[in-house]
Each structure stands twice: as structure tokens, then as C-alpha cells.
Amino acid sequence: MSQPFKLREQLIRRIRKLPETAWPRIEELVVELEQTQSELPKVIAHDVAARKAESQSPCLLEGGVEPPHSRVWPHAPIHKLSEHGTFMVTTGTLHKQHLFRGDARLDLLEGKLLELAEKYGWQLEAWAVFSNHYHFVAHAEPTARKLTDMLSHLHSTTATEVNLLDREPGRQVWHNYWDTELTIETSYLARLHYVHTNAVKHGLAKVANQYRWCSAAWFERTATPAQVKTVYSFGLSHVRVLDEFWLWPLPSIPRWSSTFSEIAGGA
């Protein structure tokens, strides 16, 4: 019996022993592997083009205006899986409450995420911060501390700050977090696309780089045009992320009015 055949039989036996609750995840992995066969040549072609690109000029917002950011940003994205681990993380507030609504609170949450990711040795590749949840994709650096330790520090610090603002000492702010290790390149690139543009999905911006509390503008400034094209070319139809967070508590107000944007915690 050949080695590939033995491996296939072993995998089939192991899958049969898994509970039904694991089947959706298995299906997702199979779909991603099937996509790899057709999309990986595109990734390689775009990476070659990126290495040959001579222009490193940043992408600007519509009209040639620099994005309105004043953050100390992470290093330029590396756009490849880390041998030490690459993860996507989603975290929501308890009962999906909009505890970080408003510019100051969103600044607090995003600022602490950037600060502590660097402190704990996690290279952020994409992030999006909202009034009741956040997402990020990050690589573990060789000296990275545990992801759970970084998240615990982030949640305790931001919870203390927001509870002081609301005069609610001891209130539980964060509910739970979900992390997925990314081991397939096409899955990783698709999730970068998902997180960079998540504000558009939630209706908080027409163009992702116009939303202040996400990585889209940073990504478009620091990556080459070929790299931007590569990431944004990946479809999102097969990306499954726990993202049922309602960001429009008053749907009677038009989405693009300034009043509605302020209420929803938008840009």
C-alpha cells in the first residue's frame, strides 16, 4: 500500500470519529484547500510582481488626501504566514453592548491593541475596531509571549478605562474571544481582506480606508500596489467568521448621515 493511500485512509478514519459539530469546520478546510489549487498561482504571480515593483508610493484616499491618522503604526506587513504561528482573533463585548461608542473610546481600544501587540511580540497584519467588537490578524514573532496573556492585558486595561468613564466599577466588559490559527496561505490572505474591509461590511464606510479605526489605510500606504491588489483580489464568500454584531442601533436614521455615524460609533 502506497504512503499517500495510507495517509488518506488514516485521515478518513480520524474524521469519522469526530463529532458532528466538527463537520462545518472540516467542510471549510476542504473548500480552502480546493481554492488553494486554483488561486495559489495568482498569489505567486502577484508576489513576483511585488518584488519587481519599483514604486513604493503610498495609496492615498480619494482626491489624493492623506488618511487622517496619527497612530504609531506597526511595521510594514510581511504578507506571509509565520513559522511561529499566525492567528485571526475576534472578540466581542458582553451582550454585544456598544461600550466603545464614540471617537475617544474607539481611540482607546485601537491604541491599546496596537501598543500591547507590539509589547507582547505580535506583528499585526490587519485589524478593525468597533463599538462592541474587534478583529485582528497577527503573526507571532520569535520572542512572542502567549496570545492569551496579551488579550487578557488588553481586556483588563480597556475594561478598567471604560468602567471609569461610565462609573461602573467591576462591570464585565468583554465576553469571550475566538482565535483561529491560519495555516493555508489563501485562507490567510482572504482573512486579511476580510478584516481590512470589515467596516464596509458593517456599513460604517463606503471605502475601507475612510474608516478611522481599522488597518486599511495603513495597509494601502505601506504595501506595494501589487500586494494590495493581491489581498483585495481574494473573494470572501467562503470566509466564515463569527461577526454577528449589530452596529446600527437606530436603523430609522440614514446610514450615511453624520448623526447616524456618531451614534453607530463610525468614522
Name the β-bridge partners of 201.
Answer: none
Domain assignment of residue 7, yes or no: no
Burial status of residue 104 (CB atoms within 10 A of its CB: 0-12, 13-18, 19 or more) = exposed
Give the range among 105-114, 138-147, 173-182 with minimum mean pLDDT. Answer: 173-182
pLDDT computed for residue 234 by the predictor: 83
Name the β-bridge partners of 140.
Answer: 122
User: In 3D, which of 240, 233, 197 has the Cα closest to residue 217?
Assistant: 197
Domain assignment of residue 168, yes or no: yes
Q: What number is the average pLDDT over the span 208-213?
A: 94
pLDDT, one tens digit per residue, over 55-97 is: 344 444 443 444 444 455 565 555 567 678 999 999 999 998 9
Task: Quote the cell numbers at residue 127.
Answer: 485589524
Domain assignment of residue 48, yes or no: yes
pLDDT computed for residue 252 by the predictor: 35
Task: Quote the cell numbers at residue 196.
Answer: 481590512
As for how many domains the chain has, the answer is: 1
Query: What is the rounded CA–CA span in Å between residue 54 and residue 181?
Result: 33
What is the number of other CB atoms lying within 10 angstroms of the CB of residue 113? 24
Domain assignment of residue 53, yes or no: yes
pLDDT computed for residue 25 by the predictor: 73
Domain assignment of residue 136, yes or no: yes
Task: Provide the CATH number for the domain around residue 94.
Answer: 3.30.70.1290
Domain assignment of residue 200, yes or no: yes
Q: Are 157 and 176 in contact (CB under 8 A)?
A: no
Query: What is the domain extent for residue 211?
Result: 25-60+67-264
Sign for the CA dihedral angle at 68, 70, 71, 74 comes to positive
User: In 3D, which of 222, 259, 190 has the Cα closest to residue 28?
Assistant: 190
Q: Give 157's Cβ-side CA count (13 Å radius).
A: 14
Domain assignment of residue 145, yes or no: yes
pLDDT computed for residue 141 by the predictor: 93
Domain assignment of residue 3, yes or no: no
- Alpha-carbon distances of 122 from 89, 168, 200, 239, 249, rounded to whole Å: 12, 31, 26, 23, 33
pLDDT computed for residue 140 by the predictor: 93
Name the β-bridge partners of 10.
Answer: none
Three-state secondary structure call for residue 20: helix
pLDDT, one tens digit per residue, over 19-29 is: 877 777 777 67
